[in-house]
Amino acid sequence: MIEGIGIDIVNISRMDTLSTVALHRLFHEMEVTYALTLQEKQRSEYLAGRFAAKEAIFKAISHGDGKTNFKDITILNDLHRKPYVKTHPFGQELQFQVSISHTEKQAIAFVICERL
């Protein structure tokens, strides 16, 4: 059953100047590790897409508990490069479907939250 949907768009250039502290505050260690293997342009696109997806997840659940932060949500790619939510703190009864895309300047993410 669909619990909610969320969408978010991010200017990729916002990711160009993230400090190391901000990078580790917003992204899970697995996301950071992968991002650091990418060239600068690809890294910014990757991070912007993940950030947009995390914002979309918060919109899809329609609330935050005040304790959860972006780092608590991990978004990786499967073997076919499809993004998926590996970890989240919202309970096992919620599952998320994620789509991420980008242009030269912006990344967009769409999320469907399902209650199992």
What is the Cα–Cα distance from 17 to 22, expressed in whole angstroms?
Answer: 10
The chain-wide mean pLDDT, for the chain, equals 92
pTM above 0.75, yes or no: yes
Considering 28, 41, 59, 82, which one is annotated as catalytic?
59
- All structural domains of the chain: 2-115 (3.90.470.20)
- 85 in Cβ contact with 73 (< 8 Å): yes
pLDDT tens readout for residues 10-52? 999 999 989 989 999 999 999 999 999 999 999 999 999 999 9
Q: Is residue 28 annotated as part of the catalytic site, yes or no?
A: no
Q: Is residue 102 annotated as part of the catalytic site, yes or no?
A: yes
What is the Cα–Cα distance from 102 to 84, expressed in whole angstroms?
Answer: 16
Considering 28, 54, 88, 102, which one is annotated as catalytic?
102
Strand order in the sheet with 106-115: 2-11, 106-115, 94-102
Q: Given pLDDT bands bounded at 50, 70 and 90, which one contains residue 65?
A: low
Could you tell me which residues come within 8 angstroms of residue 95 by beta carbon, excluding any fewer than 6 positions away?
A: 85, 113, 114, 116
